Amino acid sequence: MAVNRSVPPPTITAVLPLAAATPAVTSVSPTSGSTAGGTQVTVTGTGFTGATGVRFGATQASFTVNSDTQITATAPAGSGTVQVTVTTPAGTSNQFVTFTYVTAPVPVLSSVSPASGPASGGTVVTLSGSGFSGATAVRFGGVSAAFTVVSGSQITATAPPGSGNVQVTVTAPGGTSNGVSFTYVSAPVPVLTSATPNSGPAAGGTTVTLTGTGLAATTAVRFGATPATSFTVVSDTHVTAVAPAGTGTVQITVTTPGGTSNGLSYTYSGAPNLSGVSPNQGSTSAGNTVTLTGTNLTGATSVLFGATPATSFTVVSPTQITAVAPAATAGPVDVTVITPGGTSTLPNAYFYVSPPVLLGVAPLSGPLAGGNTVTLTGTHLIEATAVRFGATAATSFTVVSDTQITAVVPAGAAGPVQVTVTTVGGTSNPVSYTYLAAPIVTTLVPNQGPASGGSTVTLTGSNFAQTTTVLFGAVPTGFTVVSDTHLVADVLAGVAGPVAITVTSPGGTSAPTTYTRVAPPGI
């Protein structure tokens, strides 16, 4: 049996649209502007989508909805302090966010420098004009730029990226200025490869040659953050710039419409201070190596002795230079060091000494064993540091005066040697001194004779040429040097018996040879 069951109809639930939120204004920026209107104001809040009106007080403003949370509006003309409201289909905001009309002058922009820059942005631009105090925005076209208000008549701004020709404007409490053109160019970024010189004095004034590429349209040269005192574009690859004053090591950069170059190091050097010269005297001839000490000597470009450049020099460290003194006349001279940081001079710091001159040595000869004293005469001997016989130093010496030295002769080999004197002025010319062997007697003819004397004897041997004395016992006798091997001596009267004969020369005294005096026969 069929059962009828009634089925209830389906339930239909209607979905109603949610009501949009009433807009809310949380802030405006800037919060003030000119009574003439025209100030670009950013309105921040919520629920701005579909906005139909923005009012400053009761006056409608033109506006653009940027997002649900931001609107850009142009303030209409007005006065006093007014509430800013936003109206959407959901209603009108009711927060008490205000905008104040002020009577500040409308800013006027008279120039933009430089007037062009790379499309990538980054060019630092100086804006000149009036009414800039309290500026709230700088725009390149419609793009905001970072900026600094330097004064009521100057602003520095960094150009944002862009293209083509745009109008630069300044917005201040008095309104938005007229526009001045700025052109974005596609010029290449300049590149620096060298800076010569790369150092100079802290006072500045050094002319530096910059080499690189893309330099033809240079608009600025900076040493660190400081502009060059002046610069000249020579070509697309060369610029000369005068360094400003500075300290330490800075980066040199070049700016063109294509951008700012890489940096090259430039060092500001302190002025040199020369404090010592060692040794402080030397020969009038060139070649003496001198050590200069002081501070800030790095980068020295010249060392002068008087007005004459050093033969050569080497910068060892910031506190030391070695220099080879040039030739000069005898007497004191100033020593000067020149660096990129300046000049330092020590007055009368180096004394040129004339080289010694020898005129003679007396006696002219002596024994092989040395030990005898000779007198050297000449000029410029006062500062003698050495006396040499050949290569051998004198046993000792005494400087008697500028014209005389006494020296004790060292031992040496038979024959002549060259005697020299050395002073700080150099080494003298040589004079000859002869080492002599002592005389040797080998035969005596006759070896006897009458005690009354009156005859002669002939001595045979060697080293007789320089004989100075022949003695019969202790009594000198007359003699004649026949040759270096023969000598004739007078026999002196004396008592009968043997007597020693000796021969003396600068080389020494011979061994004694016996001569016998014979008494006459008795009657």
pLDDT tens for each residue of 312-330: 999 999 999 999 999 999 9
**pLDDT score of 110 more than 50:** yes
What is the per-residue DSSP string for 177-216?
Answer: PPPEEEEEE-PPPPEEEEEES-EEETT---EEEEEEES-T
Any idea what DSSP says for residue 338?
E
Q: Which domain holds residue 464?
A: 440-518
Residue 11, pLDDT score = 53
Average pLDDT over residues 97-120: 90
Domain finish residue from 120, 151, 185: 185
Among residues 35, 26, 120, 18, the alpha carbon closest in space to that of 81 is found at: 35
Query: What is the torsional sign of CA 373, 375, 381, 387?
Result: negative
> What value does the mean pLDDT take over residues 399-408?
97
In our burial notation (b when 16+ CB lie closer than 10 A, e otherwise), range 287-323 reads ebebebbbebbbbbeebbbbeeebbebebeebeebeb
Please say if the pLDDT value at position 75 is more than 70. Answer: yes
Domain co-membership, 112 together with 96:
no
Name the average pLDDT for the chain: 92
Whether 2 maps to a domain, the answer reads: no
For residue 247, give the CATH number of its domain.
2.60.40.10
Cβ 169 vs Cβ 177: under 8 Å: yes
Residues 128/111, Cβ–Cβ less than 8 Å:
yes
CA atoms of 516 and 512, how far apart (whole Å): 13
- Report, as an integer, the average pLDDT of 477-490: 97
Do 43 and 78 share a domain, yes or no?
yes
Q: Is 187 exposed, middle or buried (0-12, 13-18, 19+ CB in 10 A)?
A: middle
In the structure, what pLDDT confidence band is assigned to residue 1 with cuts at 50, 70 and 90?
very low
| pLDDT per position as a tens digit, 131-144 | 998 899 999 998 99
Name 44's bridge partners: 27, 70
Question: Where a domain ends, among 403, 436, 469?
Answer: 436
pLDDT, residue 276, reads 96
Answer yes or no: do 178 and 219 share one domain.
no
* Angstrom distance (rounded) from CA 117 to CA 125: 9
* Count of CB atoms situated within 10 Å of the CB of 86: 27
pLDDT score for 334: 96
Q: Decide if pLDDT at 484 tops 80.
A: yes
Q: Which of 322, 352, 382 is the last residue of a domain?
A: 352
Reference 493, options 518, 510, 512; nearest CA is 518
Residue found under tokens 């060092």 = 267
Shared domain check, 288 and 236: no
| Residue 360 pLDDT greater than 80, yes or no | yes
Which amino acid does the sequence have at 447? N
State the pLDDT at residue 523: 64
**Segment 87-100 mean pLDDT:** 95
What is this structure's pTM?
Answer: 0.51
Is the domain of 196 the same as that of 262?
A: yes
In the chain, the percentage of residues whose pLDDT exceeds 70 is 96
Q: Which of 336, 356, 337, 359 is nearest to 283 (CA)?
A: 356
Confidence label for 189 from pLDDT (cuts 50, 70 and 90): confident
Write out the two tokens for 199: 């150092």
Residue labelled with tokens 């020590």: 346
Report the chain's terminal Cα–Cα distance, integer Å.
Answer: 221
**Within a domain: 1:** no
Quick one: pLDDT at residue 18?
56
Q: Is residue 8 part of a domain?
A: no
* pLDDT score of 3: 41
The string of pLDDT tens digits covering residues 424-468 is 899 999 999 999 999 999 999 999 999 999 999 999 999 999 999
Q: How many domains does the chain have?
A: 6
483-514: b (≥16 Cβ within 10 Å) or e: eeeebebebbeeeeeebebbbbbbbbebeebe
Give yes or no: residues 450 and 493 share one domain: yes
Q: How high is the pLDDT of residue 8?
A: 54
* Shared domain check, 348 and 277: yes
Residue 5 lies in a domain: no
At which residue do the structure tokens 């506190």 appear?
Answer: 319
Give the 3-state secondary structure of residue 59: strand
251 shares a domain with 283: no
The pLDDT assigned to 15 comes to 46
Mean pLDDT of 122-129: 93
Residue 4 lies inside a defined structural domain of this protein: no
Question: Is 13 a domain residue?
Answer: no
Residue 206 lies in a domain: yes
* Contact yes or no for 368/436 (Cβ under 8 A): yes
Q: What angle (nearest 5°) sits at the alpha carbon of residue 152, between those of residues 150 and 155?
A: 40
pLDDT of residue 522: 72
500-507: average pLDDT? 96
Question: Is it the case that residue 4 has pLDDT exceeding 60?
Answer: no
Beta bridge partners of 378: 358
Separation between Cα atoms, residue 259 and residue 139, nearest integer Å: 19
> How do residues 13-69 score in pLDDT, each as one tens digit?
444 455 679 999 999 998 988 888 888 899 999 999 999 999 999 999 999 999 999
Taking the C-alpha atoms of residue 388 and residue 430, their distance in angstroms, rounded to an integer, is 10
Across the range 375-380, mean pLDDT stands at 97
Q: What is the pLDDT of residue 188?
A: 83
**Rounded Cα gap, residues 192 and 35, in angstroms:** 51
The closest alpha carbon to 53, from 41, 62, 40, 43, belongs to 62
Q: Cβ distance 481 to 412 under 8 Å? A: no
Is pLDDT of 175 > 90? no
My answer on whether 96 and 32 are in the same domain is yes
**115-124, 218-227, 502-511: least confidently modelled range:** 115-124
Q: Which residues pair with 277 in a beta bridge?
A: 292
As given in the structure block, the two tokens for residue 120 are 């990538």
- Residue 178 is given by DSSP the state P
Residue 252 within any structural domain of the chain = yes
Q: Would you state the pLDDT for residue 19?
A: 64
In this structure, the answer to whether residues 416 and 368 fall within a common structural domain is yes
DSSP result, 340-381:
TTEEEEEEEEEEEEPPPEEEEEESSEEETT---EEEEEEES-
Phi and psi dihedrals of 340, rounded to 5?
-60, -20
